[in-house]
Amino acid sequence: MMKRLIYIAIFSLLLFSCKEDIQHAEKIDSYPEIYPDYIGVTIPMNIAPLNFTVDSSDYSSLELKILAGNEVAFQEEYKNNIDIPQSAWQDLLAKNCSDSIQFEVSVKKADQWFQYKPFSMYVSPDSIDYGIVYRLISPGYETYSKMGIYERELSGYNQRPLFENTQVTKSCVNCHTFNRGNPQQQSIHIRGAQGATIIKTNGETKILESANDSILASCMYPFWHPSGKYIAYSTNKVRQTFHTTATDLIETFDEASDLLVYDIENNTLLTSDLISGSSFETFPAFSADGKTLYFASAAHKDLPRELKETFYNICSISFDPETGIFGNKVDTVVNLAIDRKSATLPRASYDGKYLMYNKINYGSFPMYHTDADLWLLDLNSGETRPLNEVNSAYSDGYHNWSSNSRWFVFESRRDGDLFARPYFSHIDENGNVGKPFMLPQQNPDEYYQDLFYAYNTVEFVTGKVPFNARKVEKELMQPDREEMLFERK
């Protein structure tokens, strides 16, 4: 008994002396360098714990204190990676909704504690969707190896494969999309000898052959019509060429491209001369009300010779969902060609307020352009501006809106390597955009360092995606494909 008391006394003394140490920590007048950079970000109240590491190797331990108001809401000592328990985190976010929480980081170097300037995160009351669906692919050139489409819940770290290309040999899986994040309405492409376009809507599955003699190539870059009756596609003759200098390695371009709208019920691809002529049209997206089809368009050029002279604008054409008839004129919504720049990848917010797009120096593919930035067009005022709050010196693009239009996700190579990672940013009702945060992981440093796949085409989903990969595999192995009909209106 006596022995035990002595142990307790020694332990208490040690603990006390440690606390004593940290209370006398030397203050550092700068924020800690943390990975990922979560300093000053706006986060949804239903996001997984934003764990991080301090970018320094010369400390023996570190301490995290989370302050809510003036109270210490969480305190823990770590060796390196800060790993906040999920229940404590959720509790913390729930209690501090619409408020900021402060993160106080201290590090111990050679028996001396140093305390960094506390940083904050703002907990937005706007919730984010259930999860995201994305493709993981090695950043390659023309060939590809293992890849898959995965679903990841955002309130935790669970990732599950929806379909991996080990299931159908030599296949390429891509262009997964959902109608405003609705997992019940999905479209996915599988390319290769057993390839098909799979469309699931209202519990019905269609296995389609999306290429035919009337169109340039297979249908790609799908975008659902809000009614769920149509899917807009472009059909592109995609080519690649390669730079000789170190900054940008790859250039992807369309030798030719047209737009199509697929009428699901009548199994017919609809188009008009205005969107399938000699000029390039790509990356279609419907407006919130489904009455306008936005797309990127450029005058026809001899590619790749004139690639650096190919400038896209964001254009639109009206669309009548009742009849499937396009309007008789194309409007230019964003004209960057006039400044010898390109505007591409239009994505209208579902609340009808904004149109987000990519600005790049030329061409239509932003992913390998270090100059790719996100821009926002206010559809009411017509005012357009760069999203300086989120843009980096690296490629930022392939954005998508959450179902409530309060969050957007985009891919960025700001880590400085070849691998694109998803970032999320908040936009409030007045159009104020928050600093983006990287997709959280249990141990982000280790996870992203070890991950040799890039995130590709990140889409929000409002719930778990019902996807029976084994059934799809069996269906793909069958030769039967429903041919899409074609109609020029």
- The residues of the shown chain that bind other proteins, judged by CB under 8 A, are 138-146, 148, 161, 163-164, 166-170, 241-247, 249, 251, 304, 307, 415-419, 449-450, 452, 469-470, 473, 477
CB atoms within 10 A of CB 441: 22
Rounded to 5°, the CA angle 347-349-355 comes to 50
Closer to other proteins by CB, 123 or 147: give it.
Answer: 147
| CB nearer to other proteins: pick between 168 and 190 | 168
Going by their DSSP bridges, the two strands 268-271 and 485-488 should be labelled as parallel
CB of 196 to other proteins, least distance (A): 16
Q: Which residues pair with 263 in a beta bridge?
A: 230, 268
Tell me which residue has tokens 């259930």: 130
**Spatial contact of 383 and 333, defined as CB atoms under 8 Å apart:** no
> Do 269 and 219 contact (CB within 8 A), yes or no?
yes
Nearer to other proteins, 66 or 173 (CB): 173
Q: Report, in Å, the least distance between residue 308 CB and other proteins.
A: 9
Q: Which two tokens stand for residue 387?
A: 């999203």
Question: What is the residue type of 487?
Answer: E
Stated length of the chain: 489
Q: In terms of CB distance, is 138 or 214 closer to other proteins? A: 138
Task: Tell me which residue of 206, 205, 262, 148 sits closest to 466, measured CA to CA.
Answer: 205
Q: Least distance in Å: CB of 449 to other proteins?
A: 6
| Element (DSSP H or E) covering residue 471 | helix 469-477
**Nearest-angstrom CA–CA distance, 37 and 261:** 41
Nearer to other proteins, 26 or 306 (CB): 306
Cβ 15 to other proteins, closest distance in Å?
33
Q: Helix H segments across 359-467?
A: 444-450
CB of 167 to other proteins, least distance (A): 5
Beta bridge partners of 23: none
Tell me how far apart the alpha carbons of residues 117 and 476 are, in angstroms, rounded to a whole number. 56
Q: What is the DSSP letter of 433?
A: B
The SS3 of residue 309 is: helix
- Beta carbon nearer to other proteins, 171 or 402: 171
Q: Which is nearer to other proteins, 293 or 454 (CB)?
A: 454
Tokens matching residue 448 = 């992203």
Nearer to other proteins, 100 or 443 (CB): 443
Query: Residue 82 or 476: which CB sits closer to other proteins?
Result: 476
Min dist. Cβ of residue 411 to other proteins (A) = 17
> Closest approach of Cβ 299 to other proteins, in Å?
20
Minimum CB distance to other proteins, residue 376 (Å): 29
Residue 431 neighbours by CB under 8 Å, 6+ apart: 353, 354, 376, 378
Task: For the CB of residue 55, give the shortest distance to other proteins in the complex, in Å.
Answer: 13
